Amino acid sequence: MKKEGYSVLLAVDGLEALDKVALERPDLIILDLMLPRMDGYEVLKRLKGDPRTADIPVIVLTARGEKEDRARSLELGAASFMAKPFSPRQLVAEVKRALGDAG
């Protein structure tokens, strides 16, 4: 993402992610479902349930590619769902789409 000109913040677990979002309010969040201390579903639920962060697009990236994971992520408010493996080019295209940046 840095090679594409995006600024990147990293979090090692769900709680740290919520803390960083509260401090820095990113334009977009790329979220894994399998996180320590708080899973991605709970992070997504809290983000979308908070009026201060509800409008931030969230792309769920995960090794969990079951239909139920996709459906639950989208029901909780994810902008999109990408199961591994995927190419870096696919991720960049999805980020641009989620941000409304066609070019």
Residue 71 has which token pair?
């459906």
Task: Examine residue 36 and say whether the peptide bond preceding it is cis (omega within 30 degrees of 0).
Answer: no
Give a yes or no: residue 92 inside a domain.
Answer: no
Q: What is the CATH number of the domain that holds 24?
A: 3.40.50.2300
**Residue 21, domain member (yes or no):** yes
- Domain presence at residue 57: yes
Amino acid at 53: T
Per-residue pLDDT of the chain (103 residues; tens, 9 = 90+): 889 989 999 999 999 999 999 999 999 999 999 999 999 999 999 999 999 999 999 999 999 878 999 999 999 999 999 998 999 999 999 999 999 975 4
- Total domains, the chain: 1
In 1-103, which ranges are E strands? Answer: 29-32, 58-62, 80-83
Residue 93 lies in a domain: no
Domain hosting residue 51, numbered range: 2-84
User: Looking at this protein, which amino acid is placed at residue 76?
Assistant: L
